[in-house]
Amino acid sequence: MEDEYDYDAMKEVGKVSYEALQHARSVVKPGVKLLDAARVIEAFIMERGFGMAFPVNLSLNSQAAHYTPAIDDTAVFTDNDVVKVDLGARKGAYLGDCAMTIDLTGGQAKLIEASEEALEEAISMVKAGRKVCEIGAAVEKVAGAKGFRPIRNLGGHGVSREDLHARIFIPNYDNGDETALEEGEVIAIEPFMTDGEGRVKDGASLQIYQKVGSPAARLASTRVIADFIDAKYSTYPFALRWLFRDIGGQTEFTVLRAIADLSAADALDRFPVLVERRGGMVAQAEKEMIVEKDGCSVITA
């Protein structure tokens, strides 16, 4: 297991990811455009010589994950918003991942505390040999004690070289999965709490993609854009606004047509915004850690 990781690199991306997350607190304010906030947070990471593991997520209220602003997004944060900030730095093949919830309403402290307490309880259980269902049970217990529900179809995951969702899924409830954590592996635990049903569905917004294949494209312009995505973003998730910003020399119509063609050919994975099925409010907390024999070492700290 240890041969799969450069732990020094993992700790570097973890540290910068955590610092960017804390910087977001000074950026996410009522009246600020989501697009401006995303640009500032991502610039914080890139100005330190790191890449992005994935586009910064700024998911509001009943949105649990995967909302990143469009290139022409005019939405602003308001004092009615609960904001999930989820981000990660990248150094070579090594990826950071962490998240927090910022309450601009002043009225959702209990929900946010539930997600944070569930995360800390889950972290306290991490060690080599621990069954993932036991971690999920701990998250679910905290949720119930606080009067909320964990989101059952979202959870934590393994993190390996070039792969943000590797090997293992860590549920937010006892799903009966007896897969055991392995010493030396890197994982991210992320409880999602809600006052809603406890499940998410795909929403309307779709701004995040990931290249997964290289089909023969009929149009030359699609081939050019596919090659650009390979060269610029490799197999890591990218935001559509990044593509518009970076590619140059292509019209919006041509880019969108290429995205549609590549999606239809199953050359792109798509990450639509995920929303609570009954419109419940959602809070999220996430940290990344290295599993050890008798515990773990949190690296997004």
DSSP 227-269: HHHHHHHTTS-EEHHHHHHHH-S--HHHHHHHHHHHHHTT-EE
Coil, strand, or helix at residue 219? coil
- b or e along 178-199 (b: 16 or more beta carbons within 10 Å of the residue's beta carbon)? eeebeebbbbbbbbbbbbbebb
66 has catalytic annotation: no
Classify 214 in phi/psi space as left (phi over 0), alpha (psi -120 to 50) or beta: beta
> Which residues make Cβ contacts (< 8 Å) with residue 40, sequence separation at least 6?
27
| Type of residue found at 74 | T
Annotated active-site residue in 12, 73, 81, 97: 97
190 has catalytic annotation: yes
157 has catalytic annotation: yes
Annotated active-site residue in 12, 42, 81, 86: 86
Annotated active-site residue in 81, 117, 190, 261: 190
Coil, strand, or helix at residue 189? strand
Question: Rounded to whole angstroms, what are the CA distances from 176 to 133, 137, 145, 183, 291?
Answer: 5, 9, 21, 21, 21
Annotated active-site residue in 23, 165, 182, 269: 165
CA 121/CA 213 separation, integer angstroms: 39
Annotated active-site residue in 117, 195, 286, 288: 286
Beta strands in 67-199 (DSSP E): 82-87, 89-91, 94-95, 98-103, 149-150, 155-160, 163-171, 186-189, 192-194
Q: Which residue has the tokens 């009966």?
A: 176
Task: Return phi, psi of residue 76, to 5°.
Answer: -125, 150
Annotated active-site residue in 66, 117, 157, 185: 157
Active site residues: 86, 97, 157, 165, 190, 286
